[in-house]
Chain A
Amino acid sequence: MNLDAIITTLAISGAVLWLLRRLWVTLQARRKGNGCAGGCGCSATKIGPR
């Protein structure tokens, strides 16, 4: 595997992992009744007191 493929694979894997983590956080937030954790930009997106 050349450097090109390695860097691209790492970048895409990072993005996929980040999206999965975000999905998990959203589900957790929903379960705890904290409201939205989605990327809608609304004021309800924050979890926790600060």
Chain B
Amino acid sequence: MRPTGTEALRAVQTALTEIIGPELQTAFAQDTAQMLQMLLESVITEFDGAAQDLVEDNATLASLLEEFRTVASATGSTSQELSKAIKESGEALARPDPGSIAISELAARNKELRAALETAVQALERVFEDPECESLAPIRGAMYQHLREVAARGWSFWDVASFREYMMKHRAKRTV
């Protein structure tokens, strides 16, 4: 369908800039319009790749949780946090993947998997200095690597101000 969702949202942005913006009389209204522009930009940059990102993230998360269960179970650690995280990972993995690529279903599955990852990351931080758990360092690193990739994705207003050089360096590192 044309205009596509992205094209329609761009039309809203253009109207905000060219038609509505000049009519706004107060600094507060102008600031709100600018906020709306940025809100739309964040939606637009997410829109096209949202399903693909969720499908890939869910696969990565499942793989990380599977590996975590295997490695953590082999440590012999008596940490209750670790046991809880192993159990929650197993429960999350046992739930079926959504049968569709509707964003809502993919996002609900993503939420389940990230909840298990949250518990796992907390447990890994708690046993970080435990010599019995040294073998967990690689999976901790892999989990944070995934979280970094998700956090660096898309557009952010920070990228044009405080995070400008930081994100340039970050992206340069990724392309090397």
| A and B from one complex | no
Q: Please report B residues at the A interface, Cβ cutoff 8 Å.
A: none
